[in-house]
Chains A and B, each alone.
Chain A
């Protein structure tokens, strides 16, 4: 009965003062859009940094021990491969190398501004850990062919599809060299360092990557990491310790540690997370301020209600329901608005809405209303019925 009466009072006040409540719902909707986009941007940037590493078909990545978990600082030659593979519990290993290059526009450059698409160039050993799982095309047919598997983002941005021949441009020495590569597959994800990924066989990588001097000798292959797949049932942490013990001058890390140490990843993520947190706090203050002011404007009414016998429960439930309804409407409009806006964004915008993140953000937004309204609730409950007679202290 109390709840029904409280809900009825709350809803009637909202419906008959629709302008006032619509304005706060609109503010909540805008805060929702801002927070969801910040969360989406955070996820998009994080994904752009970690997507390839996260998708590695293995549990561990082996670094040079002096590299301090920095991929670019870790340099191995082929001898390391056999050493790691020999460790008990290792099922397979694969060399992985990172660089960057530019994919020239299909059909050639049309203007001076048409500079092509910068991509992360990733060298892998076909069929080994670190090689991509293609979702279109056949994948690599040899370990040294002029073949490339494009990440989904790279395919979208360049317009290339399976069977096309793309041209990559790399500065080698003082000269821009161009290499034609046939697209043999498309793989989901594969972004690294906020660039879409283009994956090539390690030998091809060594040929086409930017470098100071031309190196033609395949025996001098240099790469950055060794991706390790453990045998089934083998604990990755234990295996990592074993590798570090048995192979000289290496450190092994799980995939999460690896991408958290990608330069800028943690700083970027914490910056966006802080902005999201601040926006939530601002939301709490805005919602709290609105309902606090509204409560102060209604002291006489609340006093009258208490004087005629309305219980504190009736007042409290009505106040809370009003806050929850207003917040729910605002968050719903904001979420729908965000979805509508996001649908208009090109694929190049690094905003990614992941179910879990969206739910956390929406959950946070749904909590800020009642949190902000706590002050108003306290104020409403402290109103003395004597206020109705103008006698309150």
Chain B
């Protein structure tokens, strides 16, 4: 399966890189999230720092309760860090108001989730162009690009289908298209393969990785399945809320992937 790197008309509406941004697409510095349980302070995430470059695909892995989803939530601006900061496209998001943060997410972040990814009453094309509508950018060129993107994702003949008429893998591919259609700085995926069989899971991650690379987005995928890291550029391993290690050598990533149970 090949996927489009860009579309001329759409690219004029959605620049590949946010204006003036030259450094990392995402920076997290000393990010900590604590909760109070009586007198006890619980660390969901403790002092995590990382950088993701445009065109880089990162896997956030770790066992349940390791803090990877909490970290993803802070990187997405859905949760405010207790300490540290998150910067996306050169903007620190922790100090933004809720309304500004919502607007920022709409413009600069693409999401795929484990569940409830798509609106069941919108067609495949409508689900993807929803991001364009939210941003007030439903131009014919952008819609054409959405169709082309879906076509390249193997869903060209499913544009008018409802999500209930698609398989789990197809639904995830639609959500990937939705995550990328507005050309965000960062694309975040929460366990995108959790409900898929192995073959479909690999297909989805491979597609995701290719789109992230080709469109020069910064991609971060949370997964508990180490086999899925085969297509990423960097693996961030979490344990007990702490960043345990970062693996970015290709051979180490492959070994991690192949050694997975």
Question: B residues near A, CB below 8 A?
Answer: 69-70, 72-73, 76, 78-79, 99, 102-103, 105-107, 109-111, 113-117, 119-122, 126, 130-131, 133-136, 162, 178, 190
Contacts and interface: CB of A to CB of B under 8 A. Distances in A.
A389 B78 contact: yes
6 contacts: A12-B122, A308-B105, A309-B102, A309-B135, A388-B78, A389-B73
Contacts of A312: 102
B116 A301 contact: yes
Chain B interface main SS type: mixed
B121 A13 contact: yes
B119 A391 contact: no
Given A5-B133, A16-B162, A309-B106, A389 B121 contact: no
Contacts, number: 85
A385 to B, nearest CB: 5
A314 interface: yes
A1 B134 CA distance: 9
B107 A391 contact: no
A220 interface: no
Contacts of A306: 102
A381 B12 CA distance: 35
A26 interface: no
A80 interface: no
A386 interface: yes
A304 B102 contact: no
Contacts of A304: 111, 113, 116-117, 119
Contacts of A388: 78, 111, 113, 116, 190
Interface residues of A, number: 27
Given A308-B111, A310-B134, A16 B121 contact: yes
Contacts of B105: 307-309, 385
Which of A5, A300, A304, A305: most chain B Cβ within 10 A?
A304
B122 A307 contact: no
Contacts of A305: 119
Interface in A4-60: 5, 8-9, 12-13, 16-17
Interface string A293-318: 00000001101111111111010000
A391 B120 CA distance: 22
A390 interface: yes
Contacts of B130: 308
Given A16-B121, A386-B79, A389-B69, A309 B107 contact: yes
A33 to B, nearest CB: 29
Given A300-B116, A388-B111, A388-B116, A309 B134 contact: yes
B194 to A, nearest CB: 11
A12 B113 contact: no
B113 A309 contact: no
A391 B69 contact: yes
A310 B70 CA distance: 21
Given A12-B121, A304-B117, A391 B73 contact: yes
B190 to A, nearest CB: 6
A386 B121 CA distance: 22
B253 to A, nearest CB: 25
